[in-house]
Amino acid sequence: EAQVTQNPRYLITVTGKKLTVTCSQNMNHEYMSWYRQDPGLGLRQIYYSMNVEVTDKGDVPEGYKVSRKEKRNFPLILESPSPNQTSLYFCASSLLVTNEQFFGPGTRLTVL
Amino acid sequence: SQQGEEDPQALSIQEGENATMNCSYKTSINNLQWYRQNSGRGLVHLILIRSNEREKHSGRLRVTLDTSKKSSSLLITASRAADTASYFCATRGVGNTPLVFGKGTRLSVIA
């Protein structure tokens, strides 16, 4: 089944404890992206990747890192999480940047 | 960055009625996309309309695009309770620019 998977789905952590949210797609898509969704603010893009080893900042990249070593994986790294990063995170992929995006199920992160 | 703005923010209708949501944006686009999100879940792509298209249909969905007014509308005909969700428009600018989402319209269909 064609899909985007994210892990973990739920995470409660404490300020400053490094964490990684994994994202994987099995559709051989070139484009991958991370968003955060907050009430009243809609979806905001954190980082995106046009292809392997090519990443770029979105609208709200501060406090996040990404890597794209393989086509299928696009992990989101929070080196030192803070409470303002409490949010619902979505990974998405598309064949090319101009195509429709396929979204993962979301990761609900709480930083205490 | 450019952003689609949906209108209304919330819409409540009876089952069987039509629902219309609007999206306005600010700069030139390559395409405009509509997505649906059930509460707290991942977004699902509904329809993509290119800048040189004016109307597109998919089942009970009809999307129009007016590039002169920089606006789009999503019409859901004969709505069902299962259509209850948030609907987002997203704009893709010219060139390899990322997709930018609006804040969404929350649709409630009452049985």
- Which tens digits make up the pLDDT trace of B58-99? 999 999 999 999 999 999 999 999 999 999 999 998 877 788
The answer to whether the CB of B73 falls within 8 A of the CB of B21 is yes
Query: What is d(CA A20, CA A9) in angstroms, rounded to the nearest whole number?
Result: 12
Would the pLDDT of B1 be above 70?
no
B89: amino acid identity, one letter: C
**A105 φ/ψ sector (left φ>0, alpha ψ -120 to 50, else beta):** alpha
Using CA of residue A8, residue A57, residue B49, residue B78, what is the dihedral sign? positive
Residues 28-67 of B with CB under 8 A from A: 30-31, 33, 35, 40-45, 48
Contacts with A104 from chain B: Cβ below 8 Å: 42
Query: Which pLDDT band holds residue B3 (cuts at 50, 70, 90)?
Result: low
Query: What is d(CA B42, CA B13) in angstroms, rounded to the nearest whole number?
Result: 24
- Which tens digits make up the pLDDT trace of A70-89? 999 999 999 999 999 999 99
